């Protein structure tokens, strides 16, 4: 389609740049999915016309009889820039920079404006009596609405519900609903939330019949007394009625309190009671959860107990539909969270679709509900003109706060209201906090930017490093007296961008060691990659944006298609709610319940030994139904087998004993492993004598180039390019965030030239029992280097390589990796077996590295990060078989295999840039640099850094047939 033709005529667009929240909308009220009153979904196909500016069109499209047959069609809910053939505009991604000049409340003349048109009939049987309400659950960023030619109002607040009274305008058929949506408005200054800028009607549009005497607003108060075991229910309603809860024998008038014995609601035990609010004209289903949230003893307590958030930040995202999510996608998110031991969600940085909160109530997740507010771009000018400290904007801020609270106040899952995110400080935030406290004292208030805790009930930070979090936990952080008395949470940490985040286990140990620290929320849940034929998944800059922040929008624990990343698997292990410890040598293991509320009666425990990774049979452990915090020594049911030189381990798994609403029986909740008997030493692989002629050196099963000493074959297998390797395709965490002070390893590595190391041959020497090749590996233009000696020996059938590395010069940065790389025939990639960790792991991301026997293909060893980078390493590998070649390590090693070189991986910007070649490239690493989370947080901790120092390591090669 083309842009609409410009028409002349009266066109009032002052509302676009007005700092007010809009006009004509009804006061906010509680949202509920259904009642016995009639409703009509207006989702579906709408006619659509696009204009380049906000004021280039008249409003004739809103009149009855307008012919829109030549217009395009778009799907509602949806974003027009994600539909059609890209002639409807394109997505824009910025982290915090506004993609328009900062001149509040003014916006550019170039302001894509989409006119949406829907003609609808009322269903048969739609009541003639009563009124009707037209509800919009989400429109970005500003909308003006007409029904049957009548202008009924305009609004801002993209992620907030707005309703309009329209009963007097409806007719049985041919109703014309016209909505003009502007991409930019004054409201855009309040919605700078590190995400794609995506205009459109992206949430539901619904027509609701309002019978006489129907429910208007109501507030379900359902507290729990943990000392008495009772719940107190009171439902305040704008319209008198009665509240019934049959299971509890409750039948009371609205406004009347009743106290009865109940089972409380928690994220671990999400007990809901079905009730009904009955008014003269409507019956509204209620799902009631009894719980009490307080700040007591300097802690966030629910039902009398301090809780530990094991959370994630969740933007709404779908790779094809953007923020237009259907119910099943939202359910998939919740189920994935529950299955990965996550117990909390911060709705970054706006209230989610209300159906998501229904799911949190049902399945059990603590929720920090965050207001639709962020003005991060004003940091570029030292927060000058920041709307949250400008009284002219306060009505808009209060409108946003009230629309969040009123819409969501009846959800037991919500335990904290958040004022917004990265909006500096100011009087407007204080006004929001005061309004919320005046309306709802049953929850606490959060805002990370308030480091003095003037308006908040907790001290919140982003990306504080491990050492600072430890100081805070010990009360050594200083600061205002009020802050020192408050609990601490990391509202964002563990930046999950690309490979990583590293250091999660170290954070968790600190969280659990100090009562004051009540956990945190990983940034973030899902990569915001846009499905795109050119790139697989597109990120910032892929749509021609002049200003963008690249793949910083891909920083989630899920890939865009909702496949769990290794980071999510790691996080599941780190936060598992059962701790299993012990060396198994005394015949017992120690089991500890790390839940806040649940006992262990819902779990069963499976035990097995493995010999060289092969299970010998499973047994069941008898574990008592431990209460939260309790531990027990549990006797093992079998004697460890005699490994006869092979490695013996045990594994204990905590599994669901019965089906639940979120996972089936035998779903793994927690696990632990321990080596009982280590493997024996590798054979020396010596004794064979090398033989040489002018071109070739033969040693056992191998042949070498006589001039260079380069390995050519092992048995019949051709080997390419075996040599020391220190480079990896830098990760987002290696490269770090551009604004961060200190060393960013990826940048320093390239400055030093580690990606272009040169290999100098110094000597090739044959002795009676060995071939020794001496080299120096160093970058051009630098005096640092690595003296590297390759010593080859054989017992006739096995080939042993010992690599000795001695640094020269002043090395000021760690190495990316240290090991050898070699090439094998591409066909070998079809069959890979190894004994070691099953999933991707690096020094600070190996908590989830379960050691067993594994087999797969080289293709499946790759981790598909949206921006290609180092990936796929398997840790603690004792041996690996790639095709016909067997490799054993002394000591254990890191194993990586790819269908392309590291250099090709490093150069790629999208997965579609990578094409398998005719060689499988294998890395056998003695050491790897840790990941950290320096893409926004701290780098790898010192204990995970690969410092340059002398090293020696060995590999034994043989053919699988041997």
- Annotated catalytic residues are 422, 492
- Record the tokens describing residue 223, joined without a space: 């507290």
Q: Are 886 and 895 in contact (CB under 8 A)?
A: no
DSSP strands (E only) in 11-55: 22-23, 39-41, 44-53
Terminal Cα-to-Cα distance of the chain (whole angstroms): 67
DSSP strands (E only) in 226-325: 230-237, 241-245, 250-253, 258-261, 273-279, 283-288, 293-296, 299-302, 305-306, 309-313
- Record the tokens describing residue 488, joined without a space: 């601490």
Angle, vertex CA 380, rays to CA 379 and CA 383, nearest 5:
40
Q: Are 432 and 449 in contact (CB under 8 A)?
A: no
DSSP strands (E only) in 730-812: 757-766, 771-779, 785-794, 799-808
Which residues have a Cβ under 8 Å from the Cβ of 610 and sit 6 or more positions away?
Answer: 616, 648, 649, 650, 651, 852
| Pick from 815, 814, 820, 785: nearest CA to 802 | 820
Collapsing DSSP to helix, strand or coil, 881 comes out as strand
| Pick from 388, 382, 345: nearest CA to 367 | 345
Region at 152 (left for phi over 0; alpha for psi -120 to 50; beta for the rest) = alpha
The distance of Cα 882 from the centroid of its chain, to the nearest Å, equals 33
3-state per-residue secondary structure call for 915-936 = CCCCEEEEEEEEEECCCCCCCC
- Distances, alpha carbon 174 to alpha carbons 70, 71, 124, 274, 428, in Å: 19, 18, 13, 39, 44
- Record the tokens describing residue 378, joined without a space: 């004003």
- Distances, alpha carbon 541 to alpha carbons 60, 79, 200, 491, 906, in Å: 36, 18, 21, 28, 19
- Record the tokens describing residue 576, joined without a space: 């598992």
| Pick from 221, 224, 359, 418: nearest CA to 305 | 224
CA-to-CA distance for 561 and 866, rounded, in angstroms? 11
As beta bridge partners, residue 306 has 301
- Record the tokens describing residue 411, joined without a space: 């959800």
CA-to-CA distance for 577 and 731, rounded, in angstroms? 30
- Distances, alpha carbon 753 to alpha carbons 480, 550, 778, in Å: 47, 24, 9
CA-to-CA distance for 404 and 160, rounded, in angstroms? 7
As beta bridge partners, residue 208 has 39, 133
CA-to-CA distance for 423 and 335, rounded, in angstroms? 32
The DSSP-derived string for 605-644 is: EEEEEEETTEEEEEEEE----PPTT-EEEEE-SSPPP--T
362: part of which helix (H) or strand (E)? helix 354-363
As beta bridge partners, residue 135 has 163, 206
The DSSP-derived string for 514-568 is: -TTEEEEEES-SB--PEEETTTEEE-TTTT--SS--GGGG---SB-TTSPBPHHH
| Pick from 524, 525, 514: nearest CA to 488 | 514
Which residues have a Cβ under 8 Å from the Cβ of 364 and sit 6 or more positions away?
Answer: 266, 267, 268, 269, 270, 338, 343, 413
């Amino acid at each position: 389609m083309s842009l609409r033709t410009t028409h002349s005529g009266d066109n009032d667009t002052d509302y676009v740049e007005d700092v007010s929240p809009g006009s004509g909308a009804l006061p906010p009220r509680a949202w509920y999915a259904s009642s016995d009153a009639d409703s009509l979904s207006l989702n579906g196909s709408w006619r659509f016309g696009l204009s380049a500016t906000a004021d280039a069109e008249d409003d004739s499209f809103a009149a009855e009889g307008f012919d829109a047959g030549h217009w395009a069609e778009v799907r509602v809910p949806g974003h027009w820039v994600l539909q059609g053939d890209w002639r409807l505009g394109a997505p824009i991604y910025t982290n915090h920079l506004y993609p328009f000049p900062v001149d509040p409340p003014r916006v550019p003349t170039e302001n894509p404006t989409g006119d949406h048109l829907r003609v609808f009939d009322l269903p048969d049987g739609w009541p003639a009596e009563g009124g009707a309400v037209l509800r919009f659950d989400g429109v970005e960023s500003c909308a003006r609405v007409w029904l049957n030619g009548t202008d009924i109002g305009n609004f801002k607040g993209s992620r907030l519900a707005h309703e309009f009274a329209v009963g007097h305008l409806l007719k049985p058929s041919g109703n014309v609903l016209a909505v003009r949506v502007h991409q930019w408005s004054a409201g855009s200054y309040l919605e700078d939330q590190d995400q794609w800028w995506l205009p459109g009607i992206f949430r539901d549009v619904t027509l609701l019949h309002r019978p006489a005497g129907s429910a208007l607003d109501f507030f379900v108060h359902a507290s729990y007394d943990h000392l008495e075991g009772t719940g107190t229910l009171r439902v305040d309603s704008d319209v008198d009625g009665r509240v019934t809860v049959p299971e509890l024998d409750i039948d009371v008038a609205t406004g009347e309190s009743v106290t009865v014995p109940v089972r409380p609601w928690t994220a671990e035990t999400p007990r809901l009671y079905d009730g009904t609010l009955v008014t003269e004209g409507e019956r509204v289903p209620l799902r009631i959860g009894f719980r009490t949230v307080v700040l007591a003893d300097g802690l966030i307590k629910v039902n009398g107990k301090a809780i530990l958030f094991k959370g994630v930040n969740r933007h709404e995202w779908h790779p094809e539909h953007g923020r237009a999510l259907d119910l099943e996608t939202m359910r998939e998110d919740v189920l994935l969270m529950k299955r990965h031991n996550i117990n909390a969600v911060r709705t970054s940085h706006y209230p989610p679709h209300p159906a998501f909160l229904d799911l949190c109530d049902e399945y059990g997740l603590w929720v920090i509900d965050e207001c639709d507010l962020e003005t991060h771009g004003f940091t570029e000018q030292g927060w000058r003109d920041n709307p949250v400290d400008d009284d002219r904007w306060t009505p808009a801020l209060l409108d946003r706060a009230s629309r969040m609270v009123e819409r969501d106040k009846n959800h037991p899952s919500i335990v904290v209201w958040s004022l917004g995110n990265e909006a500096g400080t100011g009087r407007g935030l204080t006004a929001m906090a005061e309004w919320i406290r005046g309306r709802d004292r049953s929850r606490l208030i959060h805002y990370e930017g308030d480091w003095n805790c003037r308006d908040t009930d907790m001290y919140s930070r982003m990306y504080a490093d491990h050492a600072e979090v430890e100081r805070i936990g010990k009360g050594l952080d200083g600061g205002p007296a009020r802050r020192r008395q408050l609990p601490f949470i990391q509202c964002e940490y563990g930046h999950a961008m690309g490979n990583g985040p590293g250091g999660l286990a170290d954070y968790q140990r600190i969280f659990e060691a100090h009562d004051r620290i009540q956990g945190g929320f990983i940034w973030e849940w899902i990569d915001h990659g846009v499905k795109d034929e050119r790139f697989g998944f597109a990120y910032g800059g892929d749509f021609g944006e002049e200003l963008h922040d690249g793949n910083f929008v891909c920083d989630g624990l899920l890939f865009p298609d909702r496949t769990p990343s290794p980071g999510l698997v790691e996080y599941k292990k780190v936060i598992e709610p059962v701790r299993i410890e012990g060396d198994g040598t005394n015949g017992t293991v120690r089991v500890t319940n790390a839940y806040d509320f649940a006992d262990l009666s819902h779990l069963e425990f499976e035990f097995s030994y493995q010999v060289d990774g092969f299970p010998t049979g499973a047994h069941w452990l008898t574990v008592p139904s431990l209460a939260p915090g309790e531990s027990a020594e549990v006797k093992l049911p079998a004697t460890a087998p005699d490994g006869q030189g092979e490695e013996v381990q045990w594994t204990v798994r905590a599994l669901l004993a019965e089906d639940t609403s979120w996972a089936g029986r035998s779903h793994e909740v927690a696990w632990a492993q321990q080596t009982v008997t280590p493997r024996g030493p590798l054979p020396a692989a010596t004794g064979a004598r090398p033989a040489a002629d002018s071109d070739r050196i033969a040693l056992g099963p191998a042949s070498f180039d006589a001039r260079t000493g380069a390995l050519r074959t092992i048995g019949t297998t051709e080997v390419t390019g075996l040599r020391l390797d220190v480079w990896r395709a830098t990760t987002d965490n290696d490269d770090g965030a551009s604004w961060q002070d200190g060393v960013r390893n990826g940048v320093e590595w390239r400055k030093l030239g580690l990606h272009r190391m040169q290999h100098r041959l110094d000597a090739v020497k044959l002795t009676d029992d060995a071939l020794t090749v001496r080299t120096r590996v160093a970058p051009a233009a630098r005096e640092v280097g690595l003296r590297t000696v390759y010593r080859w020996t054989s017992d006739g059938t096995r080939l042993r390589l010992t690599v000795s590395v001695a640094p020269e010069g002043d090395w000021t940065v760690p190495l990316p990796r240290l090991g050898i790389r070699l090439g094998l025939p591409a066909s070998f990639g079809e069959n890979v077996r190894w004994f070691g960790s099953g999933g991707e792991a690096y020094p600070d991301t190996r908590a989830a590295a379960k050691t067993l026997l594994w087999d797969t293909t080289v293709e499946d060893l790759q981790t598909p990060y949206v921006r290609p980078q180092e990936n796929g390493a398997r840790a603690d590998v004792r041996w690996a078989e790639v095709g016909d070649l067997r490799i054993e390590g002394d000591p254990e090693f890191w194993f990586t295999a790819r269908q392309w070189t590291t250099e090709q991986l490093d150069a790629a910007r999208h997965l579609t840039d990578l094409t398998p070649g005719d060689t499988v490239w294998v890395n056998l690493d003695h050491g790897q640099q840790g990941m950290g989370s320096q893409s926004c947080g701290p780098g790898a901790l010192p204990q995970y850094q690969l410092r340059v120092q002398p090293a020696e390591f060995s590999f034994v090669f043989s053919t699988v047939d041997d």
